[in-house]
A and B are shown apart, each in its own frame.
Chain A
Amino acid sequence: MQFERRDAPFISPTSDVGSIMRHVLYALIPAALAYVWFFGPGFVLNLIIAGIFSVLGEATMLHLRGKPVDSTLADYSALVTAVLLAFAMPALTPWWVTATAALFGIVFAKHLYGGLGYNLFNPAMAGYVMALVAFPMHMNLWTAPRMGDIDYQLLTFAETAQFTFTGTFPDYLSFDAISRATPLDVVKAGLNNMQTFDELRAYPIMGDFGGRGWEWIGNFIAIGGFWLLLKKIIRWQIPLGVLAGILIPSGLMYFLVPGVNPSPGFHLFTGGTILCAFFIATDPVSAATSNKGRLFYGFGIGFLIYAIREWGSYADGVAFAVLLMNMAVPAIDYVTRPRIVGHVKTQNGDGG
């Protein structure tokens, strides 16, 4: 009898890229629902716009590069980029800003580097930073979070859609009544104005630890993150690194110089910290690849987030921190190679 020839091993792998990315998408569902609950339907619109343009950009680039379109779209990586971008964008963002960010992320940060697996930078963060730098005026329109004790105004889907697509509100809505500074902005401005952190904590937009609403979204993101850890889609090194990188310096500053520094809890539960720890920094393509390297990589991101919030001019620093550490990845990978079994120490010699 004749048989076909093949190389060992003869057992098929059990996971695939598509299922990993799908798990990431599922894990973000609770947080997405919380986001809509607290900040209104803007998130849904951002998600739809980012999704359409990401997938369109991906398909076009694949076609231009002569790669299979259908099978590659099935890896869901473009959708993950779109979802992360939607989480990062303010709830009220003109459609063309979101679209440009999505296209920039997919076309420039991903495909011009060779597509999935070859991109040096996290596409979602590259797109976000591009929008933040190019269109700063359109990137800070946050609505007030849903809460009981101040006059928040939750927008309807129609009102949000009108703003997203035309840039204007219906006449009966005033811009000032809707938009709010984010807790990070408030704290940054307040501390610069010699207010103490405890005074700022009393503001109605503040919650128990971080910003109201934000901290709940953070909790739901963390639930998804823990689920991914359980499913072994992500490993613990990067989340731990990020959280340690932000909690250690902020904790030290909070306890050593009290009053003028936000608490570690505030850092943790405000802005994009938890999303970054579990979903953004853990993008394997642009992250360090050895276990030890991932701890360093995560810690670097966490510390840079803290540094930018504390000393930088932007209120939050997640995107910048991620991109900066993306650049450091090749070096981190090189210096954190594990010792090969049977060798006394890590092999040296750069060679080529």
Chain B
Amino acid sequence: MSTPAATYDLGKLYGGLRLPAEKTVSTSLEIQRIPVPDQLVLPLAQHAGEPAHPVVGIGEYVLKGQLLAEPYGSLSAPVHASSSGKVVAIESWPVSRRFGENAPCIVIECDGDDTPVAPSKDMAPYNSLPPNALLKRILQGGIVGLGGAVFPTGQKLMQATTMPLEYLILNGVECEPYISCDDMLMREQAAEVLGGAQILMHALALDACYVVVESDKPDAIMAIGEALAELGDERIVLKQVPTIYPSGGEDQLVQLVTNREVPSGGLPTDVGCVVQNVGTSAAIYRWICEGEPLISRVTTVTGPGVRSPMNVMARIGTTIADVVSFAGGYNEEAEQLIIGGPMCGKSVTTDRVPLVKATNCVLVLTEKPVYGNEQPCIRCGECALVCPIQLLPQQLYWYACADNESKLRTYGLTDCIECGCCDLVCPSHIPLTSDFRNAKARFQELADEKARAERARLRFESRNERIANEQQQRERELDEQKAAAKKAGPSAIDEILNRRKNKQQNKDDE
């Protein structure tokens, strides 16, 4: 059977790299379900915004799917219990986040029964709901972008409805090496992915959807193609794209599929597109059609440091230690634990961290990182050739070393997507991406400092104003008193003077 619906009608993507895929090591088995662990650790912040607020207390018994914490602030998402058990602690726990090492988590001791909450009553079919109600419902499912950005999906969609839209794009590109969770999800749950697409189209009042898959996933392409044929929804089109890293980045995908550039600092909705990860789409389907909030996900456990690489269906909150031991544990050469892929992932120092909604991959590498062999930049320009944003990393590096803020802005530091391509081609082994990340953090610090100084200035000014006002007030009162005394005549003045004298005497006596 030939590969269905291979479309190569593509826009221009600059730069990028063909990386060794390393994916087949984890795709030989079907997705394996990890049994309920003894303990679940659920961070309150598994999304881009503020941490959610707990609505359960310590010692409380919770059911699978029960709401544990409700969103707080505009970019927050709820957290649900991944299994039944007792809340034993709400405390600081090591997590894998972009900033900071520890974060508040709800710790549940599971009873192993996995008792679910009573199914919700309002399970009306999605297409009977008005789009607005559907969006609100998606918001309540704790669903966030599963591709890694973890932007709460409900808010993302609500923002999108304020813009003129043309396409829904389902991202099944998964361009980083090693990661294969979206590939496996599409192979095994293609119907859910497409079901999610239909829900999303309804919620956004859209009638065009691309499901975009990289050419190195023929099985996923086949599965989606077959599911599509069965579904018979002509609004959904399967699109195959060449295997180039980082074509799975949101803006890069839009560029590749529609030949439209997302403006600097903007969103895909600025060019009429909404991008959702295929995993997110399946999660939406399960929540809207089956009533299961986001309490589990497919994650790739792989790398040369893992005994049996595979894809697992794990409950959110399972610790990485449990996940890895399910995959056979570490082998002797395990050196480095990474949450995410080898290009954009984050290394963690301990496997006590929990698997969260964003965890698409647990990667264990064996290579010892080599430090300190950085050589001077020879301006070979290879970095500029691979930059998908057409930046000049060699120049940015120069200005980052000099901490030249205005030059860094002119050369587009804030446009850098930190894909890591420049690092890989640098013959001088300069950690460019890391340097740029630090420079961006300094930008942020600078901005924070400015804001702090501004606040201090305002405080100081208002204090001066207050003191001046009080002074004026006092003078006015004194004048009034004087005037009143004058009016009352000399006897009153004598009385006042006597009173003051007495007061003085009293003070001296003490």
Contact = CB atoms under 8 A, between A and B. Distances in A.
Interface residues of B, number: 74
Contacts of B343: 8-11
Nearest to B262: A342
A332 B392 CA distance: 14
Contacts of B410: 347-351
B347 A5 contact: yes
Given A333-B395, A338-B392, A17 B266 contact: no
A118 B363 CA distance: 38
B336 A4 contact: yes
B264 interface: yes
A3 B376 contact: no
A12 B264 contact: no
Contact of A13 (B378, B392, B409, B423): B423
Interface in B331-367: 334-338, 340, 342-351, 363, 365, 367
Interface in B391-441: 391-392, 394-395, 404-407, 409-412, 415, 418, 420, 423-429, 431, 433-434, 437
A15 interface: yes
B379 A341 contact: no
Given A9-B344, A340-B412, A117 B388 contact: no
Contact of B412 (A117, A347, A352): A347
B390 interface: yes
Contact of A4 (B369, B409, B427, B431): B369
A118 B428 CA distance: 13
Contacts of B427: 13, 15-17, 19-20
Contact of A340 (B390, B406, B426): B390
Contacts of A338: 384, 390, 392
B374 to A, nearest CB: 11
A340 B376 contact: no
A176 interface: no
Contacts of B19: 11
A179 interface: no
B342 A9 contact: yes
B251 interface: yes
A228 B384 CA distance: 19
B342 to A, nearest CB: 4
B375 interface: yes
Interface string B369-391: 11001011111111011001111
Contact of B376 (A4, A115, A294, A337): A115
B261 interface: yes
A7 B434 contact: yes
Interface string A79-112: 0000000000000000000000000000000000
Given A284-B380, A289-B392, A11 B346 contact: no
Nearest to A351: B406
B61 interface: no
Interface in A15-46: 15-17, 19-20
A9 to B, nearest CB: 3
Contacts of A20: 378, 380, 427
A298 to B, nearest CB: 13
B321 interface: yes
Interface of B: 14, 19, 177, 251, 255, 261-266, 321, 330, 334-338, 340, 342-351, 363, 365, 367, 369-370, 373, 375-382, 384-385, 388-392, 394-395, 404-407, 409-412, 415, 418, 420, 423-429, 431, 433-434, 437
28 contacts: A2-B350, A3-B336, A3-B347, A8-B338, A8-B342, A9-B433, A10-B363, A13-B426, A13-B429, A16-B429, A17-B378, A20-B427, A117-B428, A284-B378, A284-B380, A290-B381, A291-B385, A337-B392, A337-B395, A339-B390, A341-B251, A341-B264, A341-B388, A341-B415, A342-B261, A351-B410, A352-B404, A352-B405
